[in-house]
Structure 1
Amino acid sequence: MAINPFQFIQEVRTETAKVVWPTRRETIITTVMVFIMCAFASVFFFLVDRILGFGLGLVLG
């Protein structure tokens, strides 16, 4: 079934119009939250790595 390219573009525009885009405030808040969670995860995994490294040093050293 061949689709006319113009019809395809029209359907894409119709579907794009249905998308609910986030507001500037929502985007900023979400971005800040992602950075905060990355910082927490980084600190957590750094501490776990240090604790495990220290524990292995005691067992093997």
Structure 2
Amino acid sequence: MVTVNKIPTSSFKMNELDLLIKLFAYNLLELFKNDHCLTSANNYTIDRFRREIIQSAGVLIHHAR
């Protein structure tokens, strides 16, 4: 799992780029939640959003055997 609070390298520029990529991904997720999700999902954390929305396809498939 990728965390924001860990420093991946000793290079300042690489750490800055890593943080900017994580910030961009977080902002995209927040825009997606505000534009396309129900209002109840707007308060979800990233982990809960992943568990409830993205991984729900595995729950929908059920075999009779």
Per chain length, whose mean CA-contact separation is higher, i.e. which structure has more relative contact order (CA < 8 Å, sep 6+)?
2
TM-score, length-scaled by structure 2: 0.41
Q: Which has the higher helix share?
A: 1
TM-score, length-scaled by structure 1: 0.43
